[in-house]
Amino acid sequence: MKFGTITETDRRNYREQGYHILREVIPPNLLRDLRRAADKAHDIAVRLHGPQTQRLAPLKAYEGELDLKPFREFDHIEGLVEAIQALLTPEHTLKPTVDACLLFNPRARPWSTEWHRDWRDHVLEDEFQKEIGDARWEEIATDFRLWNQVNCPLYEDTATWYLPGSFKRVHNTPEEMRVYASTTQQELWDEDQRRTDEELEQFCLSYCQAMPGAVQLVLNPGDFCIYRNVGWHIGNYVPYRKRATLATHCFTPAFAKFSADYAHMLKAVEAGIERHKRMAAI
């Protein structure tokens, strides 16, 4: 198998730590074509959403303006689906890349997201307890058919930080909640420019570093990092580090079903990231 054989240790580590990196999966010619298309995608994103924009999604929405051929070729990289299935389960496939997203560097100023755990932090607590509850969440969060996000950078990418093992925990630790609550997305965006660019860069970096046990993912061009996005993670961005990273998913029918069954619970995010802060745990 390409990209090295997936070993039992890799499988065990993924199930414990929640992330694994397949190294350099993109062949050089495809990397060149993807970079060219990603430059165009970044220009579209900036035109639509301004210089600080983080993403363009889904890529297929820009057919005509954007050359989708390299993204379609990405779906067929030799040995990639086999490696995913060896790490996860035989029912996993790669989500079609034209349905995926490209993540970019900001063009003006540094910023970072908040530390967050996908889905769990994007639904309202009352609804969560009514429809799912802690016991079922433990099963859902540790169901390996679900939550296998991918970051595949076209340039070296050190923007993402991850807290290994955290995806398994129903309740966050008091230390995690203290870091999470130590700032706000508004401060990390700094739209009213209270900080210089360098102060803001250091502020965001210190917030990333403050999470106990977190690791900064160091990805080289074409690396394919699979991570359980219900664990704590964060994206930290600076304009001087070019970023064009495919953000996609290792997919299963079970994940499609979960997403459809519970789509209504993500209303809070759609209404403007009305994040529920579980302050009781602090």
Ligand X SMILES: O=C(O)CCC(=O)C(=O)O
Angle formed by the axes of helices 8-17 and 80-87, to 10°? 70
Cβ proximity to ligand X: between 157 and 190 the closer is 157
With 0-12 / 13-18 / 19 or more C-beta atoms within 10 angstroms meaning exposed / middle / buried, residue 19 is buried
> Reduced to 3 states, what is the DSSP secondary structure of residue 105?
coil
233 binds ligand X (CB under 6 A): yes
Q: Which of 97, 105, 148, 151 binds ligand X (CB under 6 A)?
A: 151
Instruction: Tell me the closest approach of the beta carbon of residue 113 to ligand X, in angstroms.
Output: 5
Which of 159, 177, 204, 246 touches ligand X by CB under 6 A? 159
**What is the C-alpha to C-alpha distance for residues 277 and 179, in angstroms, rounded to an integer?**
12
Site string for ligand X, 100-119 (x = CB under 6 A): ---x---------x------
Q: Per CB under 6 A, does 214 bind ligand X?
A: no
The residue count for binding ligand X (CB under 6 A) is 7
Q: CB-wise, 86 or 179, nearer to ligand X?
A: 179
CA distance 159 to 78: 27
Binding-site member from 153, 180, 235, 249 for ligand X (CB under 6 A): 235
> What sign does the dihedral 203-212-157-187 (CA atoms) show?
negative
Assigned token pair, 38 = 């990603």
Cβ distance to ligand X smaller for residue 97 or 151: 151
Q: By CB under 6 A, is residue 122 in contact with ligand X?
A: no
- Is the Cα torsion angle 74, 75, 78, 81 positive or negative in sign? positive
**Which residues would be at the binding site for ligand X (CB under 6 A)?**
103, 113, 151, 159-160, 233, 235
